[in-house]
């Protein structure tokens, strides 16, 4: 039974927790919730859930301990945790998906809180590698609480949530970067470290672009499953749609399938994807195409032709930009040609780089020709402007020379008049 002192101490702890809670926190029937009252008085770690629940999204929606653990939160003695009152205590690892799914897989129930929330998470989880292994009795695999936490669960768009985009790799890495924990599965444990060295991680962590992909964008979240070698282009194509569409039309698609080479990954890697460069097509050390295509074969020559075409377009663009910059400094109106370079030629360069995924040198050179012609037209216009500016400068020299000669003559005449005036004064 509760003592008077125990109730006072527990009530005080509950009140302090409540007043320190964020706006909107309303514990369910807090005054009568003996789960909260009792655990607030207990030593660590038994009191930790009370503190964590202050920020929990479930507590903010009015749910409390008994909604997950069962029991009677109004009973003032230990019968509150009796099986007769539905107390289930701490759920077993294998029971957690079904426990969370009691609410999260119930569309009618979840609409009370947020109609936008999906209610197929449980169904997807059972299709995942985690879910399949859990059904086989593997108690080490991730369940809902492994990723979201148990107490103190924050909504996914909260910056401190374990499933906020910037935190996902660390959450997955909690297991997948632990070599000892993962030893029995025979899969690499360097994925997180490699990802953090990728262009995607740079966009996410440095440039704070939260649309940049992290683990669950490629592998899925509740239905997490590694993509097969022949389906990676579909995964990458979610973001890189044009590249994927060209690749599946290319001769590489069939060649990769015949050799069981993973699409996209063969050239770009997977977790440690680096920022692309045109040198990937060249014959320089570190280039990609020469890994498979030996010097002299058709693929090797096609790659070099594409590389040379892109470099030609870049050179014409650089020359045009330099000419326009000089003409602009000389006071000429170049905004129209700058617009053509910015809105026509530069997008053409992006399109040409994308076109390389078709692995068709002719298509690339044709696209380059379009960009070169547009850039050359702007360059010719800029050169004409420079010629006109130089002509104007030359034409300006004649009146300037006449003005200077006139000023000299005027100065001479003034001196003569001064000498004549001084002679008369004597």
Cβ(215)–Cβ(172) under 8 Å? Answer: yes
| 90, 115, 147 - which closes a domain | 90
363 burial class (0-12, 13-18, 19+ CB within 10 angstroms)? middle
Quickly list DSSP for 259-302.
Answer: HTPPTTHHHH-STTPPPP-GGGGSSSTT-SGGGTSPTTSHHHHH
Is residue 46 in a domain? yes
Asked if residue 134 is part of any domain, the answer here is yes
pLDDT of residue 31: 52
Backbone angles phi, psi at 12, to 5 degrees: -65, -45
Structural domain for 57, as ranges: 1-90
**Residue environment code for 87-106, b if the CB has 16+ CB neighbours within 10 A, otherwise e:** beeebebeebbebbbebbbe
Q: Quick check: is 415 in a domain? A: no
Are 115 and 220 in the same domain? yes
Domains of the chain: total: 3
Tell me: do 75 and 152 sit in the same domain.
no
Task: Please check whether residues 86 and 105 belong to one and the same domain.
Answer: no
* Residue 239 is assigned to a structural domain of this protein: no
Residue 60 is assigned to a structural domain of this protein:
yes
Residues 222 and 113 in one domain: yes
Tokens of 164: 């906020």
The one-character DSSP state at 116 is T
The whole-number pLDDT of residue 423 equals 66
| Statement to judge: residues 170 and 191 lie in one domain | yes
152 and 171 housed in the same domain: yes
| Distance linking the first and last C-alpha atoms of the chain | 133
Give the pair of three-digit tokens for residue 372. 């070169």
Same-domain status, 145 and 74: no
- Of the three residues 90, 117, 138, the one that is the final residue of a domain is 90
State the helix-helix crossing angle for 241-248 and 251-259, rounded to 10 degrees: 80
Asked if residue 270 belongs to a domain, the reply is: no
Q: In terms of domains, do 38 and 143 share one?
A: no
Give the C-alpha separation, 180 to 276, whole Å. 34
Summarised one tens digit per residue, pLDDT across range 261-307 is: 999 999 999 999 999 999 999 999 889 999 999 998 999 999 999 99
Summarize pLDDT for 307-360 with one digit per residue, the tens.
Answer: 999 999 999 999 999 988 988 888 888 888 889 889 989 999 999 999 999 999
Same-domain pairing of 64 and 141 = no
83 and 119 share one domain:
no
The answer on 63 and 12 residing in a single domain is: yes
Q: Is the torsion defined by CA of 179, 181, 186, 191 positive or negative?
A: negative
- pTM (predicted TM-score): 0.78
Separation of alpha carbons 424 and 426, rounded Å: 5
Task: Give pLDDT, residue 154.
Answer: 95
Mark the ranges of the chain whose per-residue pLDDT is less than 50. Answer: 1-30
Q: Decide if 259 is inside a domain.
A: no
Residue in 94, 171, 91 with CA at minimum distance from that of residue 138: 94
Alpha-carbon distances of 122 from 75, 95, 131, 156, 218, rounded to whole Å: 33, 12, 9, 17, 19
Task: Specify the 3-state DSSP secondary structure of 323.
Answer: helix
Task: Pick the last residue of a domain from 52, 72, 90.
Answer: 90
Report if residue 85 sits inside a domain.
yes
Question: Is the same domain home to 205 and 106?
Answer: yes
């Amino acid at each position: 039974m509760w003592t008077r002192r125990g109730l006072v101490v527990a009530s005080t702890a509950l009140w302090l927790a409540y007043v320190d809670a964020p706006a909107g926190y309303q514990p369910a029937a807090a005054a009568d919730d003996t789960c909260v009252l009792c655990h607030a008085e207990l030593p660590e770690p038994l009191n930790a859930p009370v503190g964590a629940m202050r920020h929990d999204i479930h507590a903010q929606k009015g749910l409390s301990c008994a909604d997950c653990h069962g029991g009677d939160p109004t009973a003032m003695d230990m019968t509150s945790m009796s099986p007769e009152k539905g107390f289930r205590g701490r759920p077993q690892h294998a029971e957690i998906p079904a426990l969370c799914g009691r609410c999260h897989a119930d569309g009618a129930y979840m609409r009370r809180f947020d109609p936008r929330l999906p209610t197929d998470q449980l169904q997807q989880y059972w299709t995942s590698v985690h879910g399949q292994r859990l059904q086989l009795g593997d108690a080490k695999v991730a369940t809902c609480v492994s990723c979201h936490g148990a107490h103190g669960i924050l909504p996914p768009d909260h910056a401190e949530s374990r499933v906020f985009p910037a935190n996902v790799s660390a959450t997955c890495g909690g297991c997948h970067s632990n070599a000892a924990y993962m030893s029995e599965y025979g899969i690499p444990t360097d994925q997180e470290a490699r990802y953090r060295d990728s262009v995607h991680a740079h966009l996410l962590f440095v440039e704070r672009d939260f649309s940049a992909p992290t683990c669950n964008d490629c592998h899925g979240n509740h239905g997490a499953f590694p993509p097969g070698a022949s389906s990676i282009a579909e995964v990458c194509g979610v973001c890189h749609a044009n590249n994927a569409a060209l690749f599946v039309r290319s001769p590489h698609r069939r060649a990769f399938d015949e050799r069981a080479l993973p699409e996209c990954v063969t050239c770009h890697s997977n977790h440690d994807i680096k920022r692309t460069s045109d040198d990937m097509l060249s014959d320089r050390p570190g280039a990609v195409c020469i890994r498979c295509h030996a010097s002299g074969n058709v693929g090797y020559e096609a790659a070099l032709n594409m590389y040379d075409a892109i470099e030609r377009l870049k050179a014409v663009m650089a020359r045009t930009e330099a000419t326009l910059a000089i003409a602009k400094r000389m006071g000429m109106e170049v905004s129209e040609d700058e617009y053509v370079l910015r809105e026509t030629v530069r997008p053409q360069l992006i399109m040409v780089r994308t076109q390389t995924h078709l692995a068709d040198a002719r298509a690339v050179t044709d696209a380059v020709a379009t960009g070169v012609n547009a850039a050359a037209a702007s360059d010719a216009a800029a050169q004409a402007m420079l010629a006109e500016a130089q002509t104007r400068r030359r034409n300006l020299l004649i009146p300037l020379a006449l003005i200077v000669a006139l000023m000299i003559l005027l100065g001479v005449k003034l001196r003569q008049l001064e000498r004549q005036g001084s002679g008369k004064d004597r």
